[in-house]
Structure 1
Amino acid sequence: MISYMSKWLRRALDVVIVALIVAAIPFAMRAYHPIEQNNKAVAALEAKRYDEAIALLSEAIQAKPDNEVIRRNLVAAYNSKAVALEKEGREREAVASYEKALSLDPKNQTILRNLVATLNNLAVERSSARDFVHSQQLFEEASKWLKQIEDETVQRNVLKNYAGLLTVWGAELMKRNQPDGAIQAFEQALRLAPENAAANIYLGDLAYEANDFERAGRYYREALKLDRENAEYLRSRIKMLENEARIEPKLKTYPDPQNEFRIQAVPYTSGIPVPTIREMLREARRVIGQKLGIYPGRAVNVKIYEPEDFFKISMLPEWAVGIYDGKMRLKLDDIQGAPTQVRDLLFHEYTHAVLAMNIKQKVPAWFHEGLAQLMEPQFAESMREQVQMREALMKKKLTFETLQASFKDIDSKRDAEDAYLMSKYFLSYLNRRYGAEKLREWIQHLANEEAFPDAFQKVYGEPLKDVQHEWIQAQLR
């Protein structure tokens, strides 16, 4: 019962704050008549009285519309005022001042760069606040001016930021069960910045969910060229979809009118029938949603395989019962047990799915596995389990540090049991000591991308490591 989580979303918007060119336009003074207003304006500019300077120069340019000195000084005045407004945090007013300067000198590279920099930085700020629509409007506004900028570095940085925004927005649309909109956002991100690995990965994931294995493979292979950090994950993903493509013809699809669960299963005659499985999953969606406050953003893929095919695709050790890796994968023989056991299994794996769909940061495996057990309808504590767990703790076989990564690399069934028990009883302890509402609040903070230990301390009022240490010491007494 293992889950994999996204590793790249937090890096998708690798923002670049584009610097302003401050005071880059010199003022010019001439002593001929009737340029008195110009000269007074220059003095006002040097004293940073920008509105006074603009008023004097605007009057002067009306009298001398062809005078380049006055025009250049008025452009400089608008630029200087805009830079000052930017420093005061009045970016929208700064944009208006830059635009007035460009109406006088449309090709001025300093003004163009400063205007685009301001719009870029505003867009980044709005994106960080998750105001995606406003952020996109600002990036679109910046893009209108971008083609006129000769500085290719500025162009690349703004386009990279815009692509990052679209990637994060696409992920948000996935959470809202709007895959078509997400695909459009990711594809636009790649048009702006083809080197965007995250957009390729998400497009691969969406194609994979739709069982379009060929298209998924193309996106994953492209991402592999760009993202060496996640190379192992991408290679395993490519191998998995190649195996799945060969097994897919064996599965029958069961449509869901409510589009909540996309179930495929190898045909079978004994065990819990697919309609009953779907109803159990609907119950899990309702009950766990009420307990944790989170729901899937889109339909959950559920696949039921012959055991041999399950292990071929999942590449899990023989003790494994199920996995959520973007799809909930189950073995046929595990849905042929008692209804109560099947219900526990479905609630467990559904918990992995809903967590992965809502929490986009990497969280420890013990958290995933402990919470999944806590959500099982027949959850119970037993003396036998606690004795087994304490023995493992006394032998120092178990620590929270060793249970950070996925349990899939644990070969021994006994060691796997110990890992699950430690996860289960620590989460149960938190729930019992602090209350279920705290756990729900912690999950909400994680879904809002707050760091795992920071979110814990904010909710529980104590450092996570201190609480873990206190709990372990209590088990060893």
Structure 2
Amino acid sequence: MSDPRALLVALLLCAGTALAADPLTYGTKAQQLITKGDFVQALEELKAATSRFPYDEELRRQLAFTYTELAKRDLQAGRFAPAAENFRQAHELLPGSRELGLMRGIALYLNKDYAAARDELLQAGEGSEPLVYLGKISYDTGDLPGALDLWRRAKELDPANKVLAGLIEKAERELPVESRMDRGYSSMFDLSVDAELPPGLSAEVLDALESAYNAAGADLGLFPTTRIPVLLYTKKDYSSVTAGPDWSGGLYDGKIRLPVGGITKLTPQLRAIIFHEFTHVLVAELTRGNVPTWLNEGLAEIEGRKEYVPRVPELRGNHLIPVAKLSGGFTGMAGAEAGLAYQQSYLMTRFMVDRYGWYAVQQVLKYLGQGNSMESAVAKALSDYSLDLNAVVREWRESLPGAGTGDAAQ
């Protein structure tokens, strides 16, 4: 007679094998992990399950959901390439979902992979949102008439969309000016120049842009791979297109825009502005736009002042603009206040670079790009120093002539 204990063990092993082979068991375990927010482990469970049960629709649906949740997290953290890949995986599991194709297209657009983004968005249907992003691709790559056509079609489908109305209004303001511009190119820049400007200026500007690409790129640790549009305007056209303040010497809004009317050759001042505005390109890409204005402008001033040092207002420790105010935009400031804002931003940022080094500043920008607040980004980047933003600002204030007491970070 066989050993009953051996028989019991064999039965238990068989039951365990049957249990492990049950799709419902995999699905239940994965759902528990999803409920806890552990999408990475849930993904591994579901990938193993679908490899064993490739035709189980519920497992495929759960796996697609998990890929989608991971993709959303990547998007929020500014990890656009991984987000696009996770949306692709989800879309392969649910090929009938136009929304997943649309989200992948958006992620590819944000990653500036314009060709792949366009292909994906064209398959996402004729809805308003695919048309908006197709228009953004056309706009970013210099096809302003094409962008307007796509946005107007989107507006017909979504007439109440105020953001879309703003895009159309902006493009309609730019088109009459840009349609008469001449074109120039270098290795990384697409230059559009008002036909009224001296023809020899284009080559000098392109040379300065390439120098800025190398110099600022080395400081910030980034060399963009996507071509960058640059537009040179007469001062009148610059004012009408940008609606910026009178004191504005340049603008970056996804394109570098420079008012250069009245000059016949590249001046040190214009070269400095080119370095300044190109730095904004790098900061925008590194931080995904999550950056306080004082740090953004401070870094741009550091690069620009390597080429030309302007006359600046004296700044003393007992006459400072609160850092909280400097974190917002400067465009609403009058000329004198704006001059102080730029100078204070420069001095604060210069202090950080000199005291902690470019690598630490690069780390601050990296953490901002991951969605951290400025306070958190500084604390993480300067953890070896055990410093937070308030402490950094306090040290900077103490280094100024006539330094007072208090906390400028408030």
TM band (smaller chain): 0.7 to 0.9
SS of alignment partner, residue 262 of structure 1: strand
For the pair 1:96 / 2:51, whether they are aligned, the reply is yes
* CA shift digits 1:142-164 (9 cap, x unpaired): 215xx6xxxxxxx7xxx545532
The change in CA–CA distance for 1:423 and 1:227 in structure 2 (over 3 A counts) is farther
Q: What's the offset of the Cα at 1:346?
A: 0.9
SS of alignment partner, residue 185 of structure 1: helix
Does the CA-based 8 Å contact 1:170-1:185 persist in structure 2?
Answer: no
Q: How do 1:260-339 and structure 2 match up within 5 A?
A: 260-268=188-196, 273-333=201-261, 336=264, 339=267
- In structure 1, the partner of 2:140 is 209
- In structure 2, the partner of 1:179 is 114
Structure 2: segments with no counterpart, 5+ residues: 1-7, 34-40, 405-410
**Larger relative contact order (Cα-Cα within 8 Å, sequence gap ≥ 6):** 1
For the pair 1:353 / 2:281, whether they are aligned, the reply is yes
Q: What's the offset of the Cα at 1:166?
A: 3.4
Name which of 401, 404, 410 aligns with 2:327: 404
The change in CA–CA distance for 1:474 and 1:115 in structure 2 (over 3 A counts) is same
The change in CA–CA distance for 1:367 and 1:51 in structure 2 (over 3 A counts) is same
Q: What's the offset of the Cα at 1:261?
A: 1.0
**Separation (CA, whole Å) in 2 of partners of 1:243 and 1:126:** 36
Does the CA-based 8 Å contact 1:373-1:379 persist in structure 2?
Answer: no
Larger of the two Rg values belongs to structure: 1
Q: How do 1:84-233 and structure 2 match up within 5 A?
A: 84=29, 87=32, 89=41, 90-99=45-54, 102=56, 112-125=57-70, 128=74, 130-131=81-82, 134-144=85-95, 160-161=99-100, 163-172=102-111, 174=112, 178-188=113-123, 190-191=124-125, 194=127, 196=129, 201-220=132-151, 222=154, 231=162
**Separation (CA, whole Å) in 1 of partners of 2:184 and 2:192:** 6
Q: What's the offset of the Cα at 1:358?
A: 3.8
Q: What's the offset of the Cα at 1:114?
A: 4.1
The change in CA–CA distance for 1:195 and 1:362 in structure 2 (over 3 A counts) is farther
- In structure 2, the partner of 1:460 is 382
* CA shift digits 1:99-133 (9 cap, x unpaired): 36x4xxxxxxxxx3343122320354367375357
**Separation (CA, whole Å) in 1 of partners of 2:107 and 2:155:** 16
Does the CA-based 8 Å contact 1:50-1:81 persist in structure 2?
Answer: no
**Separation (CA, whole Å) in 2 of partners of 1:339 and 1:385:** 19
* CA shift digits 1:413-468 (9 cap, x unpaired): 10110111111110011111111221123233334554443222111122223422
**Separation (CA, whole Å) in 1 of partners of 2:219 and 2:298:** 15
- In structure 2, the partner of 1:17 is none
SS of alignment partner, residue 179 of structure 2: helix
The change in CA–CA distance for 1:87 and 1:195 in structure 2 (over 3 A counts) is farther
Name which of 22, 25, 37 aligns with 1:80: 25
Structure 1: segments with no counterpart, 5+ residues: 1-39, 56-76, 103-111, 148-154
**Separation (CA, whole Å) in 1 of partners of 2:296 and 2:30:** 48
RMSD of the TM alignment (CA)?
A: 3.7
Q: Report the residue type matching 2:23 in the other structure.
A: Y
- In structure 2, the partner of 1:387 is 314
For the pair 1:418 / 2:340, whether they are aligned, the reply is yes
**Separation (CA, whole Å) in 2 of partners of 1:81 and 1:362:** 40
Structure 1 stretch 163-172 or stretch 217-226: which is displaced more?
Answer: 217-226
Aligned residues: 373
Q: Report the residue type matching 1:204 in the other structure.
A: G
Does the CA-based 8 Å contact 2:87-2:100 persist in structure 1?
Answer: no
